[in-house]
């Protein structure tokens, strides 16, 4: 049996208080230091480990490395150049690091790594300034919570197998940049929740299999968020909330990709102002996806491959004095699509919309556009069909360059309707054999309508 023990406590100051307690074998170690050059190193190997270090103001550093046993380690360091590294090998791990800052910047760092498993847990709270944190836990009941506050935040949590959960909260800005975060969790009960507060946001959550879920809220500046989840319970919510039109950022984006193989998918993305864009791309099972974006350079693309599809996009772009084109939205619901429905609503400027429901089944359709260079296409290629395109506003004859196409084709129960209000109209409806029906209504200006039903 290994009963290695090493404790180093070093401090340089007048009127310093140092406590160091150590027991080999049943390991325990306690170090308390106050004032100036601190440093503490604790190394314990096998069995009942535990270690506590508490250092106060000035040049803090601490390194604890424990090995197998009932591990636990708590480090609390206060203002100045904080750094902490904990290690811990197997068994009932826990590690809590609280750092704080600043006495004249920088400070903070922290690395916790609890390899090979069993009870994992890790909580890191750093207060300000040059924050960074990395937690890496391997197998068993993982959990990690990181909270950083103002400074140049970054965080990275990787947890490999079983109980995952990870929550990261960052915050900023005290004169940008700041934020970033990456959470990777692989197989079993994944969940991740990231909240960042402003400035140079980014975030990536990648989870691999079983419980997935993820929620990212950024409150915005130069946003971007990517969530990729593969097998089973997927869910994902991204909200970014930026608005700063005079100098453009927040630069929202968001990409969500989910795959399931038994009853996952759902995604909601809300962005709220500036250079929005979103893709959602889901693969199989009970798909659903909702995107709202709001003003400025919207775009959106939803692509769902099979089973209970639904998709809804609402955009609301407006480019005012800025010559950035707003709106465009496409939904596809491709290959083996099934209980389709898709709806796109866009408000103003260079609209375009397309709904197509490739592998078909119970389709519906809908597009509403209200004002400026419209176009809208719905193409359903059969089964339950119904499609509607309206391009003017309710009680207001908006439209402008209008256009519209609905095509539904053989063997469907078709019904179609197009309704455009003012200016460059054209409308084409083609339906082919079985259910047909059609309505078109266009008021003032360059109307044309072509309908073929067979």
Q: What is the pLDDT of residues 175-202, one digit of tens each?
A: 777 888 999 999 999 999 999 988 889 9
pLDDT average, residue stretch 147-160: 90
Number of domains, the chain = 1
Name the more confident of 366 and 348. Answer: 366
Yes or no: say if 431 and 452 are a contact pair by the CB < 8 Å rule. Answer: yes
DSSP of 260-280: -SSS----EEE--SBS---EE
Note whether residue 69 is domain-resident: yes
Note whether residue 352 is domain-resident: no
For the four alpha carbons of 164, 72, 180 and 101, in that order, the dihedral sign comes to positive
7-11, long-range: CB < 8 A, 24+ apart:
7/31, 7/40, 7/41, 7/42, 7/43, 8/39, 8/40, 8/41, 8/42, 9/33, 9/39, 9/40, 10/37, 10/38, 10/39, 10/40, 11/35, 11/36, 11/37, 11/38, 11/39
pLDDT average, residue stretch 420-438: 92
Reported pTM: 0.86
**pLDDT class for 337, splitting at 50, 70, 90?**
confident
Q: What percent of the chain stands above pLDDT 90?
A: 49
The reported pLDDT for the residue numbered 16 is 42
The answer to whether residue 246 scores a pLDDT higher than 60 is no
The answer to whether residue 426 scores a pLDDT higher than 50 is yes
Per the prediction, the chain carries an average pLDDT of: 86
* Distance in angstroms (rounded) separating the CA atoms of residues 356 and 367: 11
Q: What percent of the chain stands above pLDDT 70?
A: 89
pLDDT average, residue stretch 372-392: 91
pLDDT average, residue stretch 355-377: 89
Note whether residue 2 is domain-resident: yes
Q: What angle do CA 338, 340, 343 make, to 5 degrees?
A: 165
The answer to whether residue 359 scores a pLDDT higher than 90 is no
The reported pLDDT for the residue numbered 7 is 53
The reported pLDDT for the residue numbered 312 is 96
The reported pLDDT for the residue numbered 356 is 93
Note whether residue 382 is domain-resident: no
Range of the domain at 56: 1-148
Note whether residue 296 is domain-resident: no
* Distance in angstroms (rounded) separating the CA atoms of residues 231 and 135: 24
Q: Which two tokens stand for residue 261?
A: 């193989």
The reported pLDDT for the residue numbered 407 is 94
Q: What angle do CA 292, 293, 295 make, to 5 degrees?
A: 140
Q: How many CA atoms lie within 13 A of 354 on its CB side?
A: 13
The answer to whether residue 247 scores a pLDDT higher than 70 is no
């Amino acid at each position: 049996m290994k009963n290695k023990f090493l404790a180093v406590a070093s401090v340089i100051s007048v009127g310093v208080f140092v406590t160091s307690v150590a027991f080999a074998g049943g390991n325990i170690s306690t170090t308390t230091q106050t004032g100036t050059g601190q440093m503490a190193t604790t190394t314990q190997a096998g069995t009942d480990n535990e270690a506590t270090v508490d250092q106060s103001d000035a040049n803090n550093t601490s390194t604890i490395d424990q090995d197998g046993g009932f591990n636990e380690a708590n480090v609390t360091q206060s203002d100045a150049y904080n750094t902490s590294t904990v290690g811990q090998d197997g068994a009932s791990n826990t590690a809590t690091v609280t750092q704080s800052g600043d006495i004249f910047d920088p400070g903070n760092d922290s690395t916790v790594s609890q390899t090979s498993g069993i009870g994992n847990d890790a909580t890191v709270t750093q207060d300000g300034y040059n924050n960074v944190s990395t937690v890496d836990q391997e197998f068993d009941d993982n959990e990690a919570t990181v909270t950083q506050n103002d400074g140049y935040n970054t965080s990275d949590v990787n947890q490999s197998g079983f109980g995952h959960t990870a929550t990261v909260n960052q915050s900023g800005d005290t004169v940008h940049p700041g934020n970033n975060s990456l959470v990777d969790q692989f197989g079993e009960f994944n969940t991740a929740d990231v909240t960042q507060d402003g400035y140079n946001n980014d975030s990536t959550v990648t989870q691999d299999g079983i419980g997935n879920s993820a929620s990212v809220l950024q409150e915005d500046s130069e946003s971007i968020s990517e969530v990729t989840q593969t097998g089973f319970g997927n869910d994902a919510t991204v909200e970014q909330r930026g608005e700063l039109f005079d100098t453009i950022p927040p630069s929202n984006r968001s990409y969500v990709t989910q795959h399931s193989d038994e009853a996952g998918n759902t995604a909601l993305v809300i962005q709220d102002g500036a250079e929005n864009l979103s893709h959602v791309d889901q693969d199989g099972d009970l798909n659903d996806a909702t995107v709202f974006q709001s003003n400025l350079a919207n775009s959106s693309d939803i692509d769902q491959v099979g089973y209970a599809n639904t998709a809804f996009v609402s955009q609301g772009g407006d480019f005012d004095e800025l010559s950035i084109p707003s709106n465009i939205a496409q939904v596809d619901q491709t290959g083996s699509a099934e209980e389709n429905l898709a709806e796109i609503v866009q408000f103003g400027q260079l609209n375009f919309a397309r709904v197509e429901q490739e592998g078909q089944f119970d389709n519906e359709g809908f597009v509403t556009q209200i004002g400026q260079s419209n176009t809208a296409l719905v193409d359903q290629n059969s089964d339950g069909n119904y499609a509607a395109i309206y391009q003017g506003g309710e009680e207001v004859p908006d439209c402008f360059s209008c256009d519209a196409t609905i095509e539904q084709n053989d063997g469907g129960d078709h019904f179609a309707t197009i309704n455009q209000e003012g200016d460059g109209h054209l409308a084409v409806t083609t339906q082919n054999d079985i259910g047909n029906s059609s309505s078109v209504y266009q008021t003032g200006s360059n109307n044309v309508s072509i309908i073929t039903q067979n």
